[in-house]
């Protein structure tokens, strides 16, 4: 039995006011915090860390291995993702590395996934309430997922009238999937379907653009952006995106004073 502890922690959007106390406690107490340089920078300087291993964006496997190694050696280790670590984040990879080493919870380090506010709900809060009805989350990154799988999911989500959240919508090199996604969605949704483009939600430089599937400009989107495409009921009220859930509001609501 060793006493190592391994935490996989979602930072939420990156603003101190939206970081869960549990995450804050775990990060402050960790011997070492392992993460992508850009996410660790979100914590600076408001959350002092005792030790840090910062690597580049695509080094996820390396980060998971370092974290598991050091926890196995008895350290208290936190691995961070932005948003929720369980949504396209480090939680799965850490568990896969543990499994590859025949981790036994009775013997190896303890493991805890600390949830956070994930990008789509943060973006939704910034623009109103687009997720009041069933929604599908699709990553447009074809780095690990073949494009036909992504295509099929976009088509299914569009066909069944899900609100759709796009993660990893576009990077400097990976520009084709977002325009392809727009065309797939346009085959099933009206051109005036509302679209919210939310960049740097709750971070410095936050920017929101409400547009439609037709007027949407993929070039305005980067890796710090979440895109939300409404379903057939989604409307814009006074600059806020709302997907009605079906309550009878107009009939019941008394007049404003």
What part of residues 89-148 is at the interface with a copy of itself (CB under 8 A)?
89, 91-105, 108, 111, 113-118, 121-122, 124-126, 128-139, 144-145
Q: Which residues touch 161 (CB under 8 Å, ≥6 apart)? A: 231, 232
Which of 180, 156, 159, 184 is closest to 170 using CA atoms?
180
Phi, psi of 205 (to 5 degrees): 85, 15
CB of 204 to a copy of itself, least distance (A): 16
Separation of alpha carbons 95 and 91, rounded Å: 6
Q: Does 86 bind a copy of itself (CB under 8 A)?
A: yes
CB of 143 to a copy of itself, least distance (A): 8
Nearer to a copy of itself, 65 or 207 (CB): 65
Nearer to a copy of itself, 21 or 45 (CB): 21
Q: Does 69 bind a copy of itself (CB under 8 A)?
A: yes
Q: Does 42 bind a copy of itself (CB under 8 A)?
A: no
Nearer to a copy of itself, 104 or 219 (CB): 104
> Which class for 13: exposed (0-12), middle (13-18), buried (19 or more C-beta within 10 A)?
buried
Residue numbers 192-251 binding a copy of itself by CB under 8 A: 237-240, 242-250
Tell how strand 76-81 and strand 32-36 pair up: parallel
């Amino acid at each position: 039995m060793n006493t190592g502890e391994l935490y996989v922690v979602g930072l939420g959007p990156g603003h101190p006011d939206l970081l869960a106390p549990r995450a804050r406690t775990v990060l402050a107490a960790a011997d070492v915090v392992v993460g992508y340089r850009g996410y660790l920078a979100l914590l600076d300087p408001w959350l002092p860390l005792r030790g840090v291993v910062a690597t580049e964006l695509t080094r996820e496997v390396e980060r998971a291995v370092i974290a598991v190694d050091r926890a196995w050696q008895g350290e208290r280790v936190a691995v961070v993702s932005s948003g929720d670590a369980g949504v396209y984040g480090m939680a799965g990879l850490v568990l896969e590395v543990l499994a590859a080493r025949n981790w036994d919870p009775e013997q190896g380090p303890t493991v805890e996934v600390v949830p956070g506010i994930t990008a789509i709900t943060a973006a939704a809060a910034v623009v109103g309430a687009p997720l009041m009805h069933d929604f599908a989350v699709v990553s447009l990154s074809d780095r690990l997922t073949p494009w036909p799988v992504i295509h099929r999911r976009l088509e299914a989500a569009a066909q069944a009238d899900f609100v759709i959240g796009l993660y990893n919508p576009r990077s400097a090199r990976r520009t084709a999937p977002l325009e392809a996604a727009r065309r797939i969605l346009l085959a099933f949704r009206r051109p005036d379907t509302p679209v919210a483009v939310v960049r740097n939600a709750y971070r410095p430089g936050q920017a929101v653009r409400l547009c439609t599937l037709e007027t949407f400009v993929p070039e305005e989107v980067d890796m710090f952006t979440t895109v939300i495409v409404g379903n057939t009921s989604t409307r814009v009220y006074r600059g806020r995106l709302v997907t009605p859930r079906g309550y009878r509001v107009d009939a019941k609501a008394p007049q404003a004073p």
